[in-house]
Chains A and B, each alone.
Chain A
Amino acid sequence: MTPARPVPDALVYDRVSLRHDGAAADAVGPVSLALREGERVLLLGPSGAGKSTLLLAATGLFPRSIPGACTGGIVLRGHPVTSRTPAEWADTCGFLFQDAAQTLAGFTVRDEISFGPENRCIAAARIPDLVAEAMRQAGIPQIWADRRISTLSGGERQSVALAALLAQGAPITLADEPAASLAPKAARRMADLLLAPGRTTMVVEHRPGPILDHIDRCVALGRDGRVLAEGAPHEVMARDGAALAEAGIALPLATRIHLDLPDLIDPRLPLRDALLRVPPAQARRLHDAVLPAPIPAGEILTTLDGADCAPAFGPVVLRDVSLTLRAGEVVAILGPNGAGKSTLAACLAGLLPPRAGRRTGAPGAVAFQNPEAHFSQESVRAEIAGLCHAPGRVAQIFDRWTLGEVAHQHPFTLSQGQKRRLSLALLAEADRWPVLILDEPTAGLDRAAETVLGRRIRALAREGRALAVITHDMDFALSVADRAVLVHRGAVQFDGPCPALMRDAARLSLAGLEPPEAAPVLNWLAATC
């Protein structure tokens, strides 16, 4: 066993099993793991493995406020978690919940950020400076102090949640997919803050690639809710990559390409160097590994003509937008947080009429950024039944989106990834919409589900539908979209082939985006072919 340490571990789970009220089986466990002081741990696991539940148990929010049962012992800084209330632990341990709207309470930005320090009894005179500093660090303009949370975009909310956490100033941070709806630059800022060397942080992420360098140790949970692999991040990826992929956990793209094409790409080399050794004759295989098969585009289904788009009850955020969507086309809509992508989605689908200009074409459907917006029934099964498909098709839907195990559950009790899958299934399996817009469909999805989604998007396009996909994941955009639209500074800045935009690092960087992990492959392909 480990020798006695002068400082106790920050957070220790000792054979912990957690079960939600009314659930037939444990959500997670038995799990034993420790977070040491000054250590940054990445918690990986397929959707539904119980990561969020595990984090919630760290200060006793589960089972004290979220009903359930907990066996095993949890020790925070040497004290059993049950020795204090969750509110008392707030001085020790701060949360970023998976849903930013859950971290916040729906007040104004200033009230949200000052709430934590006030509760910690920080001297009143110091609080304004704390608030201003937290806003500066999180990249929130100071003039937003009086804005209400409900008037912010999804990513802007996530930044405010980060500022609130920083101001709270707890030494231990538990962050559940903190960057899921952040554009790449904002996500990097978040990682630099949360995962600065010396911070004590446990972070859950489905896309480990961008943060791997900020991590000291990596723990992966398997589908059975037990620890599957543990160790230094690059070691785990190299050693247990296959097992992780099997469990549906996303790997960094380079690792994935290495796994897919072991004869082409030497797994011991960085991607850029490994590419130098690929014979040009093999370009086709490499091309197919990162780019989708082309689909002939059909007639125009929807047009925006000089449209001014505004969010509901908000000001115009996009001016003079002219766009078309064709049958058989998949368009990626990209842009920094708050650029107006979700607003554009509602306009394109005809849900919000443009303030000026015209929209023509058949009405479309949007899979909203917040999956809960689509739920109206008492169970997952009833939601799917609402699609009115034959029994065979229903079984196929459950199978495809792996919702079978939770069919009896209430949609609001699902894990975030399960919620996302359900909301996507409700839209992508309804046959009535010629135009379909998916707003950040990969947020919260594990690798397995992302693959299913990508295939489904291509299949729908081949059926002759027009699809638009809003995403911050450049690699996903590259793998499903033929065309890309970049919105930034209130206008469309680029509308053209997706790979062309992805190779334009300067343009991406101007809009707060970054090239995909597959950029070296794109460059290689361009140079070779």
Chain B
Amino acid sequence: MPDHSVWTLRETLIVAVLGAVFGVLYLGWVQVWLVLQAIFGALTMDVVMGFWFIVSIIAAAIIRKPGVALVSEVMAAAVQVLLGSPAGLLLLLTGLVQGAGAEAVFAATRWKRYSVGVLMAAGMGAAVFSFAYTWIRFDYGSLAPGLLVAMFVLRLASGALLGGLLGHYIVKALYRTGVLSGLAIDRDARAAGA
């Protein structure tokens, strides 16, 4: 049985590479969001938010070890800061909070379960953490309760769908390409199949 908490060389490299690639993709997503926001208005941010959680979910679902969700999300944030994200330095904190949200859900399963449900829950976990964070940062207390509920529900749904579910499909597609063989996801799939 391989050690459950130490990252192997291969896993470290995969987290680094995923963080870098998704850092770039996240920046692209800002563009999508801005255009949508101009069309649909303020609530758009909550609708598109889930995609910014996705790297933690993908990396965790592949490697299945403590810390993967958190580190990959922070790594992606760092790449964005270096490339000049509009959110500025605070993005590092945002990444930390979002990563911690996903990590918390995986920790609750003791890093053992990675079904669609758990992945969607992790997306929702990241959504809850990030909602709390934006609440403090943007002083949501002054908003109308109805609007707040709508924002919260939208963000939860986005975390579950754009983060968890989309992440799940991407992981499945990656699994089919064969590049994940020998990683925890592959070992578990074989153990389940055997």
Contacts and interface: CB of A to CB of B under 8 A. Distances in A.
Decide if A and B touch, CB cutoff 8 A.
yes
B182 A21 contact: yes
A65 interface: yes
Contacts of A412: 177-179
B107 to A, nearest CB: 27
Contact of B178 (A21, A66, A413): A413
A321 B179 CA distance: 40
Interface of B is mostly: loop
Contacts of B187: 67
Contacts of B115: none
Contacts of A246: none
Contacts of A21: 181-182, 190
Given A21-B190, A22-B190, A67 B182 contact: yes
Interface string B153-191: 000000000000000000000001111011000010010
A381 interface: no
Interface string B68-84: 00000000000000000
Nearest to A63: B182
A378 interface: yes
A66 B190 contact: no
A65 B176 contact: no
B182 A66 contact: yes
Nearest to B8: A65
Q: Could you say which interface size class chain A belongs to? A: 10 to 19
Contacts, number: 22
A106 to B, nearest CB: 11
Given A22-B190, A65-B10, A410 B182 contact: no
Interface string A43-67: 0000000000000000000000111
Given A21-B190, A65-B10, A378 B182 contact: no
Given A22-B190, A378-B176, A67 B181 contact: yes
Interface of A: 21-22, 65-67, 378, 410-413
* CB-based closest 10 A-B pairs: A410-B178, A67-B182, A412-B178, A378-B176, A22-B190, A413-B178, A66-B182, A21-B182, A67-B181, A21-B190
9 contacts: A21-B181, A21-B182, A22-B181, A65-B10, A378-B177, A378-B178, A411-B178, A412-B177, A412-B178
